[in-house]
Amino acid sequence: MIRPFWFTDTIVLNANGTGTAQLAVSTGEKARIRKLLFVATGAFSLTGLRDASGQPFSNCNTDNPITSTLMGNAANGFNVVLDFDPALELEGPNTLDLSLFDTSAASNTVRIVGVGEKET
């Protein structure tokens, strides 16, 4: 059965700190993530986007990050969107790992939603 699904995670980054958010896919499931939505209390950078095995979905890194200002419309503040066409596909057990770096110089809460579908 295929059904719409929103994958979520929240991560708190210390000032100038790093962390990894994970969108999990359980054993026996397949996920297709078409869009990532972010809301944050401050500026941040995406420094890695890969699955648990290390398969990259971007070449971003600490030297060449995707900044929150690049991902969003300035009118929307930090409500940022990344669209994927074709969708990112993950077969469980697996995770989509998002490596984040705070650039706001203050504690920062980043909420992430992966919009897509889950097949069981």
pLDDT exceeds 70 at position 29 = yes
- The single-letter DSSP state of residue 52 is T
**What is the domain-level CATH number for residue 62?**
2.60.120.730
| Residue 110, strand partner residues | 11, 40
- The single-letter DSSP state of residue 119 is E
Looking at residue 118, its pLDDT comes to 97
Domain that holds residue 59: 2-119
Looking at residue 81, its pLDDT comes to 76
Contact call for residues 18 and 101 (beta carbons, < 8 A): yes
pLDDT exceeds 70 at position 1 = yes
Number of domains in the chain: 1
pLDDT tens column, 42-63 = 899 999 999 999 999 999 999 9
Looking at residue 45, its pLDDT comes to 94
Which amino acid is located at 70 in the chain? L
Q: Strand 30-40's sheet: what is its strand order?
A: 2-13, 108-119, 30-40, 80-91
Mean pLDDT of 73-87: 71
| Residues 118, 30: Cα–Cα separation, whole Å | 6
Looking at residue 76, its pLDDT comes to 52
pTM value is 0.91
Name the strand (E) or helix (H) holding 50. strand 44-51
Considering just the CA atoms, what is the radius of gyration of the chain in Å?
A: 14
**Structure tokens of 88?**
């990112």
